[in-house]
Amino acid sequence: MNVSIITIGDEILIGQTVDTNSAWMGQQLNLIGAHVTEALSIGDEKEDIIESLRRALNQSDVVLMTGGLGPTKDDITKKALCEFFDTDMVFHQPTYDRILRLFEKWGRSSTEAHRLQCYMPSNAILLPNKMGTAPGMWFEYEGKALVSMPGVPYEMKYLMEHETIPRLNKKFPGQPIVHRTIQTVGEGESRIAARIEDIESSLPQNIKLAFLPNLGSVRLRLTGKGSDKAVLEEEVESQMMAISDRIEDLIYGYGNTKLEEAIGQMIKDRKLTLATAESCTGGFLAHKITSIPGSSEYFKGSVIAYANEVKINQLKVKSSTLDQHGAVSEATVREMVGGTIDLLQTDLAVAVSGIAGPGGGTPEKPVGTVWLAAGNKNKIKTRLIHAGKNRIKNIEYSSVHALNLIREFLLEEDE
């Protein structure tokens, strides 16, 4: 089943609202093996809606629309639908009765706009919406299906789950699709590609591999299409295993796992505690770690040692180390790890010191030079990385590498 998604609303095109509906619908459709051919956002213009509908119904089996059904601007989408289907609006008494009951319950009175909302294209099959006043609408058209839903995310989600998806499954029992995602960190897209080149080039025709890079981490996504879901799952799984075996050292998880979540789980599994000592990342590393619910189980805290005196007074970095090697040096991050473990009484610590920019660079240590250290009181692993010239990007990139250094340290300790 091919699906086109159309989201309607001027607020999307001027960037006041990010369209998250399309991505969520894409995920749900993907799970039932439907193929989304395109996701289109257009403004509140009748002619644009009609034209987009015509084109989408021409190229796809199913068109899912969201937006333009509320009590203020609902006439545009419904008018467009009436014009497209060459039909009229009819008043739908059950919907009006329901709205009146709702308002009675809320102790408020409805407006004329709510009554007008109950006029529906005569050929619409109404989909009950328990989350709002506007029902969804299902239309049959030359063996295809068109579904119009409200744009409010939780209303759309309710209708997708309870009405649209079950009806689509019934109307278009289709060919299975299987996805598997491998999450990697520590190596760039092209190097990973080089390491698995032979696997990639001998993939069967029905399985595709995509690289999705993002600041120090790369997701590898396998997508398979086939007729038998069980066979297909086995095929995709076996390709995933082949790739996983080859780049095992880079993999921190599968599916939608986040790096900070995977590291947290590794620490929790080993019943350890962690603290961070941050200079150039300025708290962003601790923020990533504490963005995970339940991180207080293993994360005790952090010292953000932006000033050298904080490195010296709190983290017990020696003045002589700073004088001899500078704040951005292997010796300094080593001492930061040791000092943090002592100070915050944790099993593990990770330290970052670098030049985030735009100022502070020198010919020997240009902006983007970052030293990392991770370890326990017996052993410390260090790494020098070269980030770029963009301050925010440097901070994020350094944090990803710091998390990866903890991962590598823990794996080495396991051996």
Helix, strand, or coil (residue 21): helix
Q: 238-260 burial string, b = 16+ CB within 10 Å, else e? A: ebbeebbeebeebbbbeeeebbb
Closer by beta carbon to a second copy, 36 or else 403: 36
Output the CA torsion sign for 396, 400, 406, 408.
Answer: negative
Closer by beta carbon to a second copy, 148 or else 346: 346
Report the run of H or E that residue 254 belongs to, with start and end: strand 251-254
Distance CA 415, CA 399 (A): 25
Closer by beta carbon to a second copy, 138 or else 299: 299
Query: Helices 74-85 and 46-59 meet at what angle, rounded to 10?
Result: 50
Beta-bridge partners for 8: 42
Phi, then psi, of 293 in degrees rounded to 5: -55, 140
Helix, strand, or coil (residue 72): coil
Output the CA torsion sign for 149, 153, 158, 161.
Answer: positive
Closer by beta carbon to a second copy, 273 or else 321: 273
Contact 240, 222 (CB under 8 A): yes
- Beta carbon of residue 206, minimum distance to a second copy (angstroms, whole number): 15
- Beta carbon of residue 390, minimum distance to a second copy (angstroms, whole number): 6
Closer by beta carbon to a second copy, 17 or else 123: 17
Beta-bridge partners for 208: 223
Closer by beta carbon to a second copy, 321 or else 340: 340
Closer by beta carbon to a second copy, 36 or else 322: 36
- Beta carbon of residue 106, minimum distance to a second copy (angstroms, whole number): 5
- Beta carbon of residue 143, minimum distance to a second copy (angstroms, whole number): 23
- Beta carbon of residue 407, minimum distance to a second copy (angstroms, whole number): 19
- Beta carbon of residue 414, minimum distance to a second copy (angstroms, whole number): 26
Helices (H), 39-123: 46-59, 74-85, 93-106, 112-116
> Please, what is the Cα angle at 232 between 229 and 236, to 5 degrees?
135
Beta strands 274-278 and 348-354, pairing class: parallel
- Beta carbon of residue 415, minimum distance to a second copy (angstroms, whole number): 26
